């Protein structure tokens, strides 16, 4: 293993913001987008952090990702709205949508916003985590124009990994932060196994013959991840249902793509065909309960889970978001460890765009 290079989050954030600005993104949006990526790295979710920068840089460079989207509200009631992302970065579009959602929840107690014609929005929990500053429970979901998950009893990729994130505030315990693909494993886990030369557990994916495989390359090529549960006997219809639910609340309700619709009925509008749809919700806790009471109850529940009896060979029970919270504390203090290959990429960008990168 090559030693990682530690970089302060502020340094990376500022650098990436400048890269986005050089690519035509407005200053404020560039900082928002950089923050979404760096937050993922801070929380140890490298699969959705700066490792993914090229996924935004390349299409911005190629002109297939809109650096200056005209983000608009399409339809709206006091607490429910649909927005159009105009083919902009999901990182920017998602943040604006959740900001509106929070503002409406602040006023009415609860709100939801759907978004169409957006793109990859990074770590789903970035948006639900925004709700913590407002003592709200937050929810975030996304689909994308890509299929990699098969339905129960099927063998054709029909759904994207459709993640769900929900966050709830606490007092002393790390906030509850759930964020997961509705497939057994995320596609990024397959990619990681490919990169490290490992095998994947049987039960994650099928190969192109529709057979269970432990070969990550075969799984990657077939793009046939199994829905959470794995087999019908062990509840895969539940994971399959959650995946469809995410598609309903994002693409179907939001007016975007859903399932494999981009393959079956490809629209002429590029911004729609190659798009993600999102769903956000925010709930103001203190409408129902004094916030300190709620947080104390959250602490009590999470602590009881952690202190409950451990399985043989286990010495710790985790609550959701605990590992990420601890990573964030550590990395805010000591910097984010980056792979030298990624740092080389950042240096290349620094050179290309004439931006100072002080490591």
Of 38-97, binders to a copy of itself (CB under 8 A) are 74-82
Shortest distance, position 194 Cβ to a copy of itself, whole Å: 18
Cβ partners under 8 Å of residue 324, min gap 6? 43, 44, 45, 125, 174, 177
Q: Which residues pair with 206 in a beta bridge?
A: 212, 224
Residue 80 φ then ψ, to 5°:
-140, 130
> Which one of 5, 47, 99, 152 is in contact with a copy of itself (CB under 8 A)?
152
Q: Check if the beta carbon of residue 207 is closer than 8 Å to that of residue 213.
A: yes
From residue 13 to residue 32, the character string flagging contacts with a copy of itself as x (rule: CB under 8 A) and all else as - is --------------------
End-to-end alpha carbon distance in the chain: 21
Residue 340 φ then ψ, to 5°:
-55, -35
From residue 162 to residue 201, the character string flagging contacts with a copy of itself as x (rule: CB under 8 A) and all else as - is ----x-x-------x-x-x-x-xx---------------x
> Which one of 310, 348, 351, 352 is in contact with a copy of itself (CB under 8 A)?
310
Which residue, 88 or 239, is less far from a copy of itself as judged by CB?
239
Shortest distance, position 68 Cβ to a copy of itself, whole Å: 25
Question: Mind giving me the DSSP string for 88-145?
Answer: B-HHHHHHHHHHHHHHHHHHHSEEEEEEEEE---S-THHHHHHGGGGTEEEEEEE--S
> Which one of 5, 24, 135, 154 is in contact with a copy of itself (CB under 8 A)?
154
Shortest distance, position 15 Cβ to a copy of itself, whole Å: 33
Q: Which segment (29-37, 123-131, 256-264, 334-342) binds a copy of itself by CB under 8 A?
A: 256-264
Shortest distance, position 72 Cβ to a copy of itself, whole Å: 14
Which helix (H) or strand (E) segment is 30 a member of? helix 27-42
Which residue, 11 or 234, is less far from a copy of itself as judged by CB?
234
> Which one of 12, 320, 331, 342 is in contact with a copy of itself (CB under 8 A)?
320
Query: 225 to each of 52, 149, 213, how far by Cα in Å?
Result: 21, 5, 10
């Amino acid at each position: 293993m090559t030693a990682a290079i530690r970089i302060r989050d502020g340094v990376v954030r500022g650098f990436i913001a400048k890269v986005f600005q050089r690519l035509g993104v407005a200053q404020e949006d560039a900082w928002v987008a950089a923050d979404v990526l760096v937050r993922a790295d801070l929380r140890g979710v490298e699969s959705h952090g700066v490792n993914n920068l090229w996924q935004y840089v390349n299409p911005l460079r190629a002109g297939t990702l809109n650096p200056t989207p005209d983000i608009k509200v399409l339809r709206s009631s006091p607490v429910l709205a649909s927005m159009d992302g105009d083919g902009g970065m999901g990182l920017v579009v998602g943040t604006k949508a959740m900001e509106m959602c929070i503002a409406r929840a602040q006023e009415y107690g609860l709100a939801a916003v759907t978004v169409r014609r957006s793109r990859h929005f990074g770590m789903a929990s970035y948006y639900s985590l925004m709700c913590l500053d407002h003592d709200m429970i937050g929810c975030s979901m996304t689909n994308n124009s890509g299929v990699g998950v098969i339905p129960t009893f099927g063998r054709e990729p029909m759904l994207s990994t459709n993640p769900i994130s929900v966050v709830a505030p606490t007092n002393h315990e790390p906030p509850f932060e759930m964020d997961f693909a509705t497939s057994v494993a995320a596609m990024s886990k397959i990619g990681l196994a490919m990169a490290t030369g490992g095998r994947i557990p049987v039960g994650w994916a099928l190969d192109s013959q529709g057979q269970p495989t432990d070969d990550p390359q075969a799984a990657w090529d077939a793009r046939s991840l199994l829905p959470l549960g794995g087999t019908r006997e062990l509840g895969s219809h539940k994971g399959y249902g959650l995946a469809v639910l995410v598609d309903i609340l994002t693409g179907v309700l939001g007016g975007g793509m859903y399932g494999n619709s981009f393959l079956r009925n490809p629209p002429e509008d590029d911004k729609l065909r190659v798009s993600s749809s999102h769903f956000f919700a925010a709930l103001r806790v203190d409408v129902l309960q004094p916030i300190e009471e709620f947080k104390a109850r959250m602490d009590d529940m999470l602590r009881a889970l952690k202190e409950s009896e451990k399985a043989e060979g286990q010495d710790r029970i985790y609550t959701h978001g605990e590992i990420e919270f601890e990573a964030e504390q550590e990395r805010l203090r000591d910097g984010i460890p980056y792979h030298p290959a990624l740092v080389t990429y950042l240096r290349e960008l620094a050179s290309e765009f004439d931006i100072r990168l002080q490591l």
